[in-house]
Amino acid sequence: MESFRLIHKWRRALWQIPAIIMVAGALALSSNNLRKESLPLVGDWSAAASLTTVSGEYLDISIDEAARLFREQAAVFMDARSAADYEKGHIQGALSLPWQDVDRLFFSATAGVPPDMPIITYCDGETCNLSHDLAIFLRDMGFENVKVLVNGWTIWKNTNLPVD
C-alpha cells in the first residue's frame, strides 16, 4: 500500500511540474506585454549588434573604409589598448587613449581634434570591447562621428597597412 501512495505522488508531481512551468511562462509573457517598454523576446547577439547605438546606428567600420579614410587623412585613429601594447606597435599616426586611463588622458589625447572629425577606435581581438567602450565615451563627450574597427590592430597588420 505504501508503494502505491509513493507512485501516486510521483505521477502527480510529473504533471504538476510542466503545469507550473507553463503557468510561470504565461505570467512572464503577460507581464512583459503589459510593460511600457517591453523586453524583446528575440535578441540579436551578433558582433555587429553589440556595436549598435540605442538609436540603431552601427558603430563598426570596414577595414576598406578605414583604410580609405587613413589614406585621405580624413580620420583620427585612437588606440584603446594599454600604453604598453601601443608602444609595441600601432596604426601609423594613431593616438593612444587607453580605456583604463581615459579619465586621466582624455583631454590631452583629444586636444585639437574637432568634434565633427571622424574618429576610428580600435583594439585587438574579436571580443575586445575596449574600442567600443571608448567609442561610446567619445560620443558622450561630444564627438559626433566615431566608429569602431573591430579587431583593428590584427586586421590592420594583416592587410599590410602602415604601422609604427
C-alpha cell, 98? 587607453
User: If pLDDT is split at 50, 70 and 90, which confidence band does 33 have?
Assistant: confident
Residue 44 predicted with pLDDT over 70: no
**Predicted pLDDT of residue 119:** 97
Shared domain for 64 and 97, answered yes or no, is yes
- Does the structure show a pLDDT above 70 at 134? yes
Helix (H, G, I), strand (E, B) or coil at 31: helix
**What is the layout of strands, in order, in the sheet containing 95-96?**
95-96, 76-79, 119-122, 146-149
Residue 132 sits in the same domain as residue 76? yes
pLDDT at 163 (0 to 100): 94
Instruction: Domain of residue 23: give its range.
Output: 1-42
Same domain, 68 and 24: no
Q: Give Cα separations from 79 to 120, 129, 158 (angstroms).
A: 9, 12, 17
Q: Is 31 in the same domain as 71?
A: no
The whole-angstrom separation of Cα 82 and Cα 96 is 8
Residue 19 has pLDDT above 90, yes or no: no
Count other Cβ atoms within 10 Å, centred on residue 118.
18
pLDDT at 47: 59
Q: Which uninterrupted H or E stretch holds 147?
A: strand 146-149
72 located within any domain: yes
146 and 110: one domain?
Answer: yes
List Cα–Cα distances, 142 to 58, 98, 113, 114, 115, in angstroms.
17, 18, 11, 10, 6
User: How does residue 46 score in pLDDT terms, banded at 50, 70 and 90?
Assistant: low
How many structural domains compose the chain?
A: 2
DSSP 20: H
Q: What is the largest CA-CA distance in the chain?
A: 88
Identify residue 101 by its one-letter amino acid code.
D
Q: Report the phi/psi class of residue 125: left, alpha or beta, with left for phi > 0 and alpha for psi in -120 to 50.
A: left
- Say yes or no: 71 and 130 in one domain: yes
Q: Are 78 and 91 in contact (CB under 8 A)?
A: no
pLDDT, position 1: 61
Same domain, 35 and 62: no
> Quick check: is 121 in a domain?
yes
Q: Is pLDDT larger for residue 68 or for residue 49?
A: 68
Determine, yes or no, domain membership for 52.
Answer: yes
Q: What is the CATH number of the domain that holds 94?
A: 3.40.250.10
Q: Do 75 and 115 share a domain, yes or no?
A: yes
Assess whether 2 and 76 both reside in one domain. Answer: no
In a domain, 30, yes or no: yes
Please indicate, yes or no, if residue 164 is contained in any of the structural domains.
no
At residue 49, the pLDDT reads 64
Same domain, 105 and 84: yes
What integer best gives the mean pLDDT of the chain? 88
**Shared-domain flag, residues 57 and 21:** no
